[in-house]
Amino acid sequence: MNKEKLIDKACALSRPYAVTDGASFKLKKVDPSDTGPFSDEDKPKAREALAEGIELLAELQDTLYAHDRWSVLLIFQAMDAAGKDGAIKHVMSGVNPQGCQVASFKVPSSEELDHDFLWRCQRHLPERGRIGIFNRSYYEDVLVVKVHPELLDKQKLPDAVRGKGIWDTRYKDIRHFEQYLANNGTIVRKFFLHVSRDEQKKRFLERIEDPAKNWKFSAGDIAERAHWKSYMDAYEDMIQATATKTSPWYVVPADNKWFTRIVVAAAVIDALSSLKLAYPTVTRAQKDALHAARAALEAE
């Protein structure tokens, strides 16, 4: 398939899952088992399309790197076992590692807790020409911390700034921060991999039963599952408050990993191709210098 057609297809596939104006967003309208235009029999076709998409993504990333002006930040958030790691691994598999930086954010260290909540993430923002991937992010500070408000105690905030309005304040700060990034040439795209509670249970059981997957399971994951409703409320509030045209959330159905991956790849293709980048063209003087260099090499 030619490049333009592939880009059109990627846009058509991913855009139904984009939330560009959070105000009217309702999480229950997104079905985690949705597979868009693909039926189960289409799986091989979808895999082929993903392979093609990954190739195109690699090419687009190469122009991003050569152009060296824009950067792209991809943020991944999800419940446990929704497939964040797999999506990151597959979608970025064709991309030159030199042009890509992944940062994973875990329970904050004491050094991190000694700063404002954006601090640890700012240190990992992508350089110009690069794609930065956040596996979890500052959004944890309006998700896990909102579900477990006792975690706020550890953040050493002065009483005067930790009143009831703290979540709205954080949403606003995040909106402004992402606008600031956009104003400085960083394209931000955010992905919520939306898995159902039943599918999570199935994947946890696999992790418990399959020795090769045991390492992925931690007892704490079950404890978090018990707060499912609170998490879904926190995700919905977060998306409503922080999905904007410049910094959209993609709410990606995640009960079928093959579909999750193709939607994520398509959304990244949409973002990169919207920059309309081409390899830098050389000036007359640079061309003359290239000819002179060739002449010098041939004369050796």
Q: Which chain residues interact with ligand AMP by CB under 6 A? A: 105-108, 136, 140-141, 144-145, 151
Comparing CB distances to ligand AMP, the nearer of 98 and 218 is: 218
Among positions 79, 80, 253, 277, the unique one binding Mg ion when judged by CB under 5 A: 80
Comparing CB distances to Mg ion, the nearer of 80 and 140 is: 80
Is the distance from CB of 266 to CB of 17 less than 8 angstroms?
no
Comparing CB distances to ligand AMP, the nearer of 125 and 151 is: 151
Q: Residue 276 touches which of Mg ion, ligand AMP, none (CB < 5 to 8 A by kind)? A: none
Shortest approach of Mg ion to residue 272 CB, angstroms? 29
* Residues across the chain: 300
Comparing CB distances to ligand AMP, the nearer of 27 and 103 is: 103
Looking at the chain, the number of H-run helices and the number of E-run strands are 13, 6
CA-based R_g, the chain, Å? 21
Spell out the residues 6+ positions from residue 59 whose beta carbon is closer than 8 angstroms to its own: 3
Shortest approach of ligand AMP to residue 17 CB, angstroms? 23
Q: Which candidate, 27, 97, 90, places its Cα nearest to that of 268? A: 90
Phi and psi at residue 178, in whole multiples of 5°? -70, -30
HSE-CB for 288 with a 13 A CA cutoff: 3
Question: Cα–Cα distance between 300 and 289 in angstroms, integer?
Answer: 17
Question: Cα–Cα distance between 193 and 32 in angstroms, integer?
Answer: 9
Shortest approach of Mg ion to residue 234 CB, angstroms? 17
Comparing CB distances to ligand AMP, the nearer of 146 and 270 is: 146
Shortest approach of Mg ion to residue 74 CB, angstroms? 19
Q: Which candidate, 89, 84, 81, 75, places its Cα nearest to that of 118? A: 75
Comparing CB distances to ligand AMP, the nearer of 11 and 152 is: 152
Is the distance from CB of 263 to CB of 13 less than 8 angstroms?
yes
Shortest approach of ligand AMP to residue 80 CB, angstroms? 6
Q: Which stretch binds Mg ion (CB under 5 A): 34-42, 76-84, 130-138, 144-152?
A: 76-84
Shortest approach of Mg ion to residue 88 CB, angstroms? 14
Contact residues for Mg ion, defined by CB under 5 A: 80
